[in-house]
Amino acid sequence: MTEFFEGLGMSYEWAWTVATLVGILAISLIVMFSVAMVIYVDRKVLGAIMLRRGPNVVGPFGLLQSFADGLKVFLQETIIPSAANKGIFLLAPIITFTVALAAWAVIPFADGVVLADINVGLLYILAISSLGVYGVVMSGWASNSKYPFFSAMRAAAQMISYEVSIGFILVCVVLWAGSFNMTDIVMAQKGHGLGIVNGFFFNPLLFPIFVVFFICALAETARAPFDLTEAESELVAGYQTEYSSMSFALFWLGEYANILLMCSLCTLLFVGGWLPPIEWAPLYYVPGIVWFLLKTFGFFLVFSWIWATVPRYRYDQLMRLGWKVFLPMSLIFVALISGYLMATGHFAK
């Protein structure tokens, strides 16, 4: 895209800046639109599992429900509690939303369709997603109210605990792929399973790690069964309790953008991103972005299936699972996988 703007007579620097800004805008719009549709899907799946209809009034099949909700929320009044710390109270949802969108910069949607193809892509995602906790913690503190504060405490501990395991899991993937660059990681999965199937998913050493990663992704995005930060039976609505109108909607959008990000990470790291599932030439005629979207959507369906199925964890069980089960397990797998790769001479290549 930079060349296009250079063709319009700009210098390289300005062409690059304009192209990047256009890319940022395009990705934000696409992600926001997907979030709206995915919220609809989430509610529809939940409805189907609970033998209800789900949203079905606004638009054909209720497809426009999310947009109607967005419009409604936009017209509502923003209420700021008098005891709240005003600046931080308003900053918190903005941080949640911005951080949720910022991580998308390094996600390759198809071969070469990526805003920033940096060689520390995975670390960038880890760094940005570790900022997500600030939105929750700041909102909980600034609300100056009991339940949001409890929720913030829980969120801080929960996110830090599971980030450690996620870090070790990513180390395993990076060891096998030999790069932190997202595109390289996807390309390393090409023909990974005996030259027939694409994806680390089909690797017996990496499959257990994938399962742990998926559960950690649930915990990191505070989805059921780990939604203790907004456990409605204990904490009213958690850190969002005091929020209304757009500030509430920003939390909501950020949360779903994060869920989509985790789904696309599962896709990119374990099931071969934009590559077709099977190494078979006709499948390559389908555009890569279709495979990417299909796989991401598939993971999202599993997310909402889990939401509708499992009961919530108790807080001490959540901490135990993170520190006493997943952390040792992922550590063992780092040793196991690096040992296997050394023994088979993977790094010599």
Rule CB under 8 A: which residues touch another protein?
Answer: 13, 16-17, 85, 88, 118-120, 123-124, 126-128, 130-131, 133-134, 137-138, 141, 149, 152-153, 156, 160, 163, 167, 180, 316-317, 320
C-beta closer to another protein: residue 137 or 337: 137
Helices 207-220, 146-177: inter-axial angle, 10-degree rounding: 160
SS (H, E, C) 183-246: HHHHHHCCCCECCCECCHHHCCCCHHHHHHHHHHHHHHCCCCCCCHHHCHHHHCCHHHCCCCHH
Show the CA angle centred on residue 88, arms to residues 82 and 94, nearest 5°: 120
Residue placing its CB nearer to another protein in the complex, 68 or 126: 126
Of the pair 183, 198, the CB lying nearest another protein is at: 183
Closest distance between another protein and the C-beta of residue 157, in Å? 8
Strands (E), 257-300: none
Token representation of residue 54: 């789900």
C-beta of 36 vs 133, nearer to another protein: 133
Cβ-based nearer residue to another protein, 72 or 146? 146
Cβ atoms of 104 and 27 within 8 Å: the answer is yes
Q: Report the residue number, 106 or 275, with the smaller CB distance to another protein.
A: 106
Q: Closest approach of Cβ 4 to another protein, in Å?
A: 19
Do residues 104 and 258 make contact, with C-beta atoms less than 8 angstroms apart?
Answer: no
Provide the CB-side half-sphere exposure for 202 (13 A, CA): 15
Q: How far is the CB of 102 from another protein (least distance, A)?
A: 11
Burial 140-176 (b: 16+ CB within 10 A, else e): bbbbebebbbbbbbbbbbbbebbbbbbbbbbbbbbbb
Furthest-apart CA pair in the chain: how many Å?
A: 64
- Judged on CB neighbours under 10 Å (0-12, 13-18, 19+), 281 is exposed
Q: In this structure, how many other beta carbons lie within 10 angstroms of the beta carbon of residue 129?
A: 23
Q: 179, 200, 180, 206: which is closest to 275 by C-alpha?
A: 200
Q: How far apart are CA 338 and CA 345, in angstroms?
A: 10
Q: How far is the CB of 319 from another protein (least distance, A)?
A: 11
CB closer to another protein, 34 vs 241: 241
Q: Before 225, cis peptide (omega within 30)?
A: yes
As measured in angstroms, the least distance from the Cβ of 16 to another protein is: 8
Of 162 and 202, nearer to another protein (C-beta) is 162
Find the shortest distance in angstroms from Cβ 92 to another protein: 10
> How far apart are CB 268 and another protein at their closest, in Å?
18
In whole angstroms, the minimum distance from the beta carbon of 94 to another protein comes to: 13
Nearer to another protein, 75 or 343 (CB): 343
